[in-house]
Structure 1
Amino acid sequence: MKKLPKLLLALSALAVAAGASAQVKPEDAIKYRKAGYSYMSWNMGKIKEQTIDNPAAYNKDQVLAAARTIAAIANSGMGALYVPGSDKDAGGQKTRVKPEFFQQQEEVGKIARAFNAEANKLAEVAAGGDVNAIKAQFGKTGETCKSCHDKFRMKD
């Protein structure tokens, strides 16, 4: 019986999120997704600093917090921020997303699922505290970011 209320709660949250994403103006969608990606980038930098660039500065709690933040943002539904009209600059917000992003949704979904899986794995590995394992998973996570950038992000 406990599963039914949880299912109803999840479906209600999904309906609210779907309605909210439909109301996001293109300029706000661009602003929010840029903020999410910037925050993930900053956290990736913290992990890189403490595991690759300067492992003597490694702090398990900080690396774990950064990895969990990345996973949380990756799983937050960022895809809902790619609303119609956000494929080009809007309301003073610039975007570097290529039009192909909106035309190749199957490929976008595949890349997004891979990124989410690698980000979740990064958080899991970071919890273990093995710096070499974190470095390896950090590389895998970064590769999924790069695969989307290479395919769907305009160069500066």
Structure 2
Amino acid sequence: MNRSVIAGVLSAALLSLSLSAQAVSPEEQIELRKAGYSYMSWNMGKIKAQVIDQSVAYNQTQVATAANTIAAIANSGMGALYGPGTDKQVGAQTTRVKPEMFDNFDDVAKISARLSDTTGKLAAAAASDDQAAIRVAFGEVGQTCKSCHDKYRQK
């Protein structure tokens, strides 16, 4: 199966799951959001290896697919997976979310909007095949992620 198709299917699955997050338990919400962020991180790693570190041969199709996947996850509505009771360990699922995040949803919404914007720019840069633009956009996505991690993720 084509990697683009797999990425699209996973993105659609994440979106449908996030839209139905109210129907899943707090434990499942934590598990699903961790999976989404792990998949996003894995795709960031693919771009980093090819464009930033250049430790892997550059493949524009792979980079564009990874960037599109990151943008899809960022826009999938994962905020719905931060329901009541997901600010602490639930069952077998642990979380690194700081409880104060749940008191600052206005700030989180601003960071989320910035993530949507920066991942869109990354996808556009990857589609253009301009590695310099990809590097800049990748840095912006990383800084946006870091801004949330610094405020709302436990070490």
What is the TM-score with the length of structure 2 in the denominator?
A: 0.86
Matches within 5 A, 1:46-85: 46-54=46-54, 57-85=57-85
Q: Give the Cα separation in 2 of the matches to 1:101 and 1:32.
A: 18
Amino acid at match of 2:97: V
- Which segments of 5 or more consecutive residues in structure 2 lack a partner in the other structure? 1-15
Identical columns (%): 58
Tell me which moved more, 82-91 or 47-56: 47-56
Amino acid at match of 2:105: Q
Q: Give the Cα separation in 2 of the matches to 1:33 and 1:73.
A: 10
> Equivalent residue for 2:25?
25
What is the TM-score with the length of structure 1 in the denominator?
A: 0.86
For residues 4-40 of structure 1, what are the alpha-carbon distances to aligned partners after superposition, in whole Å with 9 as ceiling and x for unaligned?
A: xxxxxxxxxxxx9887222220100000000000000
Matched, 1:148 2:148: yes
- Which segments of 5 or more consecutive residues in structure 1 lack a partner in the other structure? 1-15
CA contact (8 A) 1:24 1:83 kept: no
> Equivalent residue for 1:36?
36
Deviant stretches of 4+, over 4 Å: 16-19
> Equivalent residue for 2:3?
none
Amino acid at match of 2:150: D
> Equivalent residue for 2:93?
93
**CA spacing shift, 1:76–1:18, aligned 2, 3 Å:** closer
Provide the aligned C-alpha RMSD in A: 1.7
For residues 49-80 of structure 1, what are the alpha-carbon distances to aligned partners after superposition, in whole Å with 9 as ceiling and x for unaligned?
A: 00011177110000000000000000000000
Q: Give the Cα separation in 2 of the matches to 1:73 and 1:98.
A: 21
Q: Secondary structure at the match of 1:57?
A: coil
The number of residues matched between the two structures is: 140
